[in-house]
């Protein structure tokens, strides 16, 4: 399935995730070298369960991707998002990591314009997650402070979509030891908000709980070790969304794969994956990283598990979950 003018890159992962229950198409577990605008047209309808990506920001990564002017960003992205809408399953999710750029002393509204344009295209803007960059780049400006957060926009095709909230629960923390030790009378019943919002809380409901649901703010450090790519996000970012919106064996797509972060997260969690990347050096970097992680995962499996995985057509990342389940 070569793209126009391109030869398909080698398949980096042997086997297909859960192939006995869900036959996967030929692009599964592959890095596709070439332009996302060309490759996406070749992907089947409703084939991806989750799309996680961080496209080139406006006028950014100029030496890497040429840059897209903020005034033309929406026009540039809409043909891509049209294909993403077609490729995504009706129950799937699309997570777009993006951030407004400062132009002539003010934030350019191209991200806000893109959100409105995507809604007109048929997407539902279901949620917005905030990635708080705990180790943001230092600096000083006369009219603003350090940029310590980025948007992770969550779009869906339908109001009902796959979501597994229990998969991303977080520890309650030490605060519960003192807070729940001596409950007042008010703590043991629903206490309405004093501002008349209609909300209320019953603190006693937290007794016996070890895990809680997170907020929509993700506190993650930026990627510091990846020197070969100009704007790699941390692997923990796609991992969180993969856990939240997919099950083992589901297909995760990143049309701007870069050095392979999303594919590495999917492979690690036993999901099928597909990545598209324009630049040959990043394609090679992603393939090498995926092959190395595959070897590491395989080394942790016993011979019997490998044999069973082979019979089931599982990749070793999915086989590791099989081993853990045993």
Name 98's bridge partners: 151
β-pair type (251-254, 217-220):
unpaired
As a whole number of angstroms, the distance between CA 57 and CA 68 comes to 7
Domains, the chain, in order of start with CATH, read 30-169+215-299 (3.40.50.150), 177-212 (no CATH)
Select from 237, 97, 219, 214 the least CA-distant residue to 167: 214
Do the beta carbons of residue 270 and residue 321 sit within 8 Å? yes
Using DSSP, state whether 40 is helix, strand or coil.
Answer: helix
Do the beta carbons of residue 317 and residue 267 sit within 8 Å? yes
pLDDT digits (tens, 9 = 90+) for 47-101: 999 999 999 877 655 555 557 899 999 999 999 999 999 999 999 999 999 999 8
For residue 227, with 0-12 CB atoms within 10 Å meaning exposed, 13-18 middle and 19 or more buried, which class applies? exposed
Predicted local confidence at residue 36, as pLDDT: 96
Predicted local confidence at residue 66, as pLDDT: 58
Select from 238, 250, 209 the least CA-distant residue to 49: 250
Predicted local confidence at residue 142, as pLDDT: 85
Name 271's bridge partners: none
- For the chain, give the mean pLDDT: 81
Predicted local confidence at residue 254, as pLDDT: 98
Using DSSP, state whether 108 is helix, strand or coil.
Answer: coil
Predicted local confidence at residue 35, as pLDDT: 95
Predicted local confidence at residue 158, as pLDDT: 98
Treating both helix axes as pointing N-terminal to C-terminal, what angle do 73-87 and 110-121 enclose, rounded to 10 degrees?
A: 40
**CA 76, 290, 325: angle at the middle one, nearest 5?**
115
Burial 201-212 (b: 16+ CB within 10 A, else e): eebeebeeeeee
- Residue 42 sits at φ, ψ, to 5 deg, of -95, -10
Q: What is the DSSP letter of 144?
A: -
**281 CA to centre of own chain:** 22
Q: Residue 112, Cβ neighbours under 10 Å: how many?
A: 12
Burial 273-303 (b: 16+ CB within 10 A, else e): bbbbbbeeebbbbbbebbeebbeebbeebee
**How much is the pTM?**
0.80
Predicted local confidence at residue 45, as pLDDT: 96
159: which residues sit within 8 A by CB, 6+ positions away?
A: 124, 126
Q: What is the DSSP letter of 125?
A: E
Q: Residue 85, Cβ neighbours under 10 Å: how many?
A: 16
Do the beta carbons of residue 17 and residue 249 sit within 8 Å? yes
Predicted local confidence at residue 29, as pLDDT: 94
Question: How distant, in Å, are the alpha carbons of 53, 54, 121, 162, 173 from that of 86?
Answer: 16, 19, 11, 17, 42
Do the beta carbons of residue 256 and residue 54 sit within 8 Å? yes
Ranges of residues in the chain with a pLDDT under 50 are 1-23, 224, 227, 229-230, 324
Treating both helix axes as pointing N-terminal to C-terminal, what angle do 261-268 and 280-299 enclose, rounded to 10 degrees?
A: 20
Predicted local confidence at residue 64, as pLDDT: 53
H/E segment holding residue 176: helix 175-179
């Amino acid at each position: 399935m070569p793209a126009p003018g391109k030869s398909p890159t080698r398949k980096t992962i042997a086997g297909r995730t859960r192939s006995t229950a869900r036959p996967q198409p030929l692009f599964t577990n592959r890095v596709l070298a070439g332009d996302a605008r060309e490759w996406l047209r070749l992907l089947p309808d409703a084939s991806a369960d989750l799309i996680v990506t961080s496209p080139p920001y406006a006028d950014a990564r100029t030496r890497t991707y040429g840059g897209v002017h903020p005034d033309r960003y929406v026009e540039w992205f809409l043909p891509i998002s049209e294909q993403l809408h077609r490729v995504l399953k009706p129950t799937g999710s699309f997570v777009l990591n993006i951030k407004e750029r400062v132009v002539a002393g003010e934030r350019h509204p191209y991200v806000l314009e893109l959100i409105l344009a995507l809604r007109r295209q048929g997407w539902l803007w279901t949620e917005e997650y905030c990635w708080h960059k705990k180790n943001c780049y230092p600096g000083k400006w006369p009219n603003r402070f350090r940029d310590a957060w980025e948007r992770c926009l969550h779009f869906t095709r339908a109001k009902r979509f796959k979501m597994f909230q229990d998969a991303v629960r977080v520890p309650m923390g030490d605060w519960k030891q003192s807070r729940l030790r001596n409950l007042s009378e008010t703590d043991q019943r629903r206490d309405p908000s004093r501002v008349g919002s209609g909300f209320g809380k019953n603190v006693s409901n937290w007794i016996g709980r070890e895990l809680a649901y997170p907020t929509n703010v993700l506190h993650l450090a930026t990627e510091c070790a990846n020197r070969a790519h100009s704007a790699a996000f941390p692997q923990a970012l796609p991992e969180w969304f993969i856990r939240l919106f997919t099950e083992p064996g589901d297909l995760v797509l990143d049309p701007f794969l870069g050095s392979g972060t999303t594919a590495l997260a999917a492979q690690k969690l036993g999901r099928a994956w597909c990545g598209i990347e324009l630049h040959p050096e990043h394609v090679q970097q992603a393939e090498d990283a995926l092959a190395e992680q595959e070897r590491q995962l395989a080394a942790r499996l016993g011979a019997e598990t490998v044999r069973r995985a082979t019979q089931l057509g599982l990749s070793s990342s999915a086989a590791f979950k099989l081993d853990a389940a045993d």
